């Protein structure tokens, strides 16, 4: 689907928290994505990878009403981002965990999440378990006590790909977003915004081609046509 096939609404969407039965009752991030993609109104549209969509919903719901409008311009960029590769679930979850680990109060939980994602990726890529991405090493180094505890806790633990995708990855994304939202740091909502931006960029870099439209919805430039 090309960019000019999207039906851009003649209004600037005002995003709100939660699920909505129809556009008249409001819209969350993924519901507006379903609208732009021409799908049935839903916060679980087929046009976006399920875990990336879950991340967008959690960021939407953990952001304030004023801050949520900064997310509007990102909506078209998630349309068309789909993949059946289980490594994408691990990469999305890992991005969320490495972002949350240095700031979230539950740093042990996030340290375990980082190691769990890295081990899932290692198994899928057929590489040694001990190898870590730079972002993971840096995040763990910022919380050395949590990292050491997580290494001991996860020693010898293995999770099947099916269990990781169905249970672990969605839980990691949820806990990472809520942890960032509750963190005692300056501008947690900006961190959430940047997390979603980074996850979208990761997806584009991982999946061949760029199926997502480049058109954006700009809250500063309301369309009336």
How is residue 51 written in tokens?
């875990």
The confidence score (pLDDT) of residue 209 equals 58
CB atoms within 10 A of CB 11: 11
- Total-model pTM: 0.87
Averaged pLDDT of the chain: 88
The confidence score (pLDDT) of residue 85 equals 96
135-144 CB burial, b ≥16 within 10 A, e <16: bbeebbeebe
Asked if 174 contacts 58 with a C-beta cutoff of 8 angstroms, the reply is yes
CA distances from 197 to 43, 96, 100, 107 (A): 19, 11, 15, 23
pLDDT for 95-154, tens place per residue?
Answer: 999 999 999 999 999 999 999 999 999 999 998 888 899 999 999 999 999 999 999 999
The full set of domain ranges for the chain reads 12-78, 86-206
For the chain, the C-alpha Rg in angstroms (whole number) is 18
CA angle 191, 196, 202 (to 5 degrees): 120
């Amino acid at each position: 689907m090309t960019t000019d096939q999207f039906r851009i609404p003649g209004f600037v969407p005002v995003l709100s928290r939660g699920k909505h039965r129809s556009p008249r009752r409001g819209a969350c991030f993924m519901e507006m994505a379903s609208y732009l993609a021409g799908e049935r109104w839903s916060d679980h549209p087929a046009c976006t990878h399920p875990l990336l969509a879950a991340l967008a919903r959690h960021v939407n719901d953990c952001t304030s009403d004023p801050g949520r409008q900064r997310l509007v311009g990102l909506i078209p960029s998630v349309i068309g981002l789909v993949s059946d590769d289980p490594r994408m679930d691990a990469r999305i979850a890992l991005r969320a965990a490495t972002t949350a680990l240095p700031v979230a109060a539950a740093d042990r939980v996030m340290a375990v999440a980082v190691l769990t994602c890295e081990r899932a990726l290692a198994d899928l890529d057929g590489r040694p378990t001990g190898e870590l991405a730079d972002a993971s090493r840096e995040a763990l180094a910022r919380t050395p006590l949590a990292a050491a505890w997580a290494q001991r806790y996860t020693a010898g633990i293995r999770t099947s790909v099916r269990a990781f995708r169905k249970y672990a990855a969605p839980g990691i994304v949820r806990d990472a977003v809520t942890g960032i939202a509750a963190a005692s740091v300056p501008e947690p909502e900006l961190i959430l915004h940047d997390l979603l931006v980074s996850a979208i960029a990761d997806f584009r870099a991982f999946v061949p081609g760029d199926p997502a439209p480049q058109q954006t919805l700009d809250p500063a430039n309301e369309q009336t046509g």
